[in-house]
Amino acid sequence: MAMTEKQGGSDVRSNTTRADPVGEDGWYSLTGHKWFCSAPMCDAFLTLAYAEGGLTCFLLPRWLPDGTRNPGFRVMRLKDKLGDRSNASSEVEYHGALAQRVGPEGRGVATIIQMVQHTRLDCVMGSASQMRAALAQAIWHTAHRSAFQKRLIDQPAMAAVLADLALESEAACALGMRLAQTFDEGDPLARLLTPVAKYWVCKRAPLMVYEAMEAHGGAGYVETGPMPRLFRQSPLNAIWEGSGNVIALDVLRALGREPEAVEALRAWLMKQRGKNRAYDNWLDGFDLAGVNEATARLAVERAALAAQAAVLLEWESPVADAFCSLRLTGRGMAYGAFDQAVDARAIIERASPALG
């Protein structure tokens, strides 16, 4: 995929790449620059360019039908990134690169957003998997490391942190799986749940990976272990496919234009009423009406917490009540900073079957 240009970033309508029709067989000649082209080793790329009818989506192949290389597609350089180094990103230029139109002229954003929605699902599941990996490393380390005459995992302060991390991980995974279900079923709930989950799960990943790193002490900060790579990787999904503000504004747009999606989210959340008091109280204070650009982030955060609680309740997870208690009522800011009564040992054992 190649959408981003250096002058616009997420504002793809400020793109300057042009597309001119050539011949009678549906080909266009593209001229312009893309500051980010993901996975330049691929055989084809979805990209945006201005045709006569407006911003349009194109499929740009590396190889033309006659077997020759597309001469106008030029990789200028690879990006030296903080993380995600195993997946190359590049800066490219189009010098008369040949491409086929996908969808009607002028409907480029509406066309490519279908793929973006699926990639946002991928971001959610990718961040959830990072969180699970970090949790597994933290539990393994603390189960085998002793200090002050006890294993770390048996010390109350560490147990509180691990239980909190385990709740975060399970809620992220469950929300991602529930979101995938909406894709499979063509559920209108997907329209709002996708950006809500993408915003929240991807933003929570770096915080959780850091806390899991801290559970290792200094051993977590050295490159001989797995935590530094996990930590460097963890911020990416929150930036990729729309950073926090872009995602929040997408939710705001859907609230104003897609009443079916709003009703689907509301109905799903309300269906879980009566299963947990903290959840019911949360819903009583939850209202999507009157959201504006300045309050969009807060609304998305509250919707995400409601959605995570809802799916845990819907699927009758053994940790649903603990999640509602720790996430939907007052608590401290850091992981492990709570005074609610939860069975930390049971939560940790559920997160690590090998310890059971």
Q: What does the alpha-carbon distance between residue 320 and residue 308 come to, in Å, rounded to a whole number?
A: 9
Taking residues 229-245, what's their average pLDDT?
95
Q: What does the alpha-carbon distance between residue 332 and residue 339 come to, in Å, rounded to a whole number?
A: 9
> Bigger pLDDT: 8 or 80?
80
Going by their DSSP bridges, the two strands 73-78 and 54-61 should be labelled as unpaired
Per-residue pLDDT at 355 exceeds 70? no
- In the numeric block, the tokens 């903080």 are attached to 82
| Residue 192 shares a structural domain with residue 255 | yes
Q: Which of 53, 81, 106 is the last residue of a domain?
A: 106
Strand partners, 55: 50
| Residue 222 shares a structural domain with residue 146 | yes
98-126 burial: b if 16+ Cβ within 10 Å, else e = bbebbeebebbbebbeeebbebbbbbbbb
For the chain, give the percent of residues with pLDDT over 70. 99
Please, which pLDDT band fits residue 26 given cuts at 50, 70 and 90?
A: confident
pLDDT digits (tens, 9 = 90+) for 148-160: 999 999 999 999 9
241 belongs to a structural domain: yes
In terms of residues, how long is the chain? 356
Please, which pLDDT band fits residue 255 given cuts at 50, 70 and 90?
A: very high
Taking residues 306-333, what's their average pLDDT?
97
| Residue 225 shares a structural domain with residue 118 | yes
| Residue 308 shares a structural domain with residue 223 | yes
Alpha helices, DSSP H, located in the chain: 108-144, 156-185, 189-215, 227-233, 236-239, 244-257, 259-271, 277-284, 296-314, 320-327, 344-351
Q: What does the alpha-carbon distance between residue 162 and residue 148 come to, in Å, rounded to a whole number?
A: 18
Please, which pLDDT band fits residue 356 given cuts at 50, 70 and 90?
A: very low
Q: What integer pLDDT is reported at residue 259 of this predicted model?
A: 95
Q: Are 248 and 288 in contact (CB under 8 A)?
A: no
Q: What does the alpha-carbon distance between residue 272 and residue 18 come to, in Å, rounded to a whole number?
A: 50
Count up the domains in the chain and report the number: 2
Q: Which of 49, 74, 106 is the last residue of a domain?
A: 106
Taking residues 258-267, what's their average pLDDT?
96
The pTM is what? Answer: 0.93
Domain that holds residue 150: 111-355
Amino acid at 20: D
287 belongs to a structural domain: yes
2 belongs to a structural domain: no
> Bigger pLDDT: 356 or 127?
127
Q: Are 231 and 205 in contact (CB under 8 A)?
A: no
Q: Are 261 and 192 in contact (CB under 8 A)?
A: yes
Alpha helices, DSSP H, located in 315-355: 320-327, 344-351
* CATH (domain of 301): 1.20.140.10
Q: What contacts 91, CB < 8 A, 6 or more positions away? A: 33, 34, 35, 36, 37, 75, 76, 77, 79
For the chain, give the percent of residues with pLDDT over 90. 87
| Residue 90 shares a structural domain with residue 117 | no
6 belongs to a structural domain: no
Q: Which of 57, 78, 106 is the last residue of a domain?
A: 106
- Could you tell me the two tokens for 167? 């709740």
pLDDT digits (tens, 9 = 90+) for 52-95: 999 999 999 999 999 999 999 999 999 999 999 888 999 999 99
| Residue 89 shares a structural domain with residue 123 | no
Q: What contacts 115, CB < 8 A, 6 or more positions away? A: 1, 46
Per-residue pLDDT at 9 exceeds 80? no
84 belongs to a structural domain: yes
| Residue 45 shares a structural domain with residue 157 | no
DSSP letter at 37? E
Q: Are 217 and 287 in contact (CB under 8 A)?
A: no
Neighbours of 75 (CB within 10 A): 13
| Residue 27 shares a structural domain with residue 99 | yes
Taking residues 265-285, what's their average pLDDT?
97
Per-residue pLDDT at 296 exceeds 80? yes
Per-residue pLDDT at 174 exceeds 50? yes
| Residue 140 shares a structural domain with residue 98 | no
219 belongs to a structural domain: yes
* CATH (domain of 80): 2.40.110.20
Taking residues 335-347, what's their average pLDDT?
96
| Residue 151 shares a structural domain with residue 94 | no
SS3 318: coil
| Residue 90 shares a structural domain with residue 122 | no
| Residue 193 shares a structural domain with residue 69 | no
4 belongs to a structural domain: no
What does each C-alpha distance from 278 to 105, 200, 313, 321 come to in angstroms? 49, 20, 12, 9
Per-residue pLDDT at 340 exceeds 50? yes
Taking residues 279-290, what's their average pLDDT?
93
5 belongs to a structural domain: no
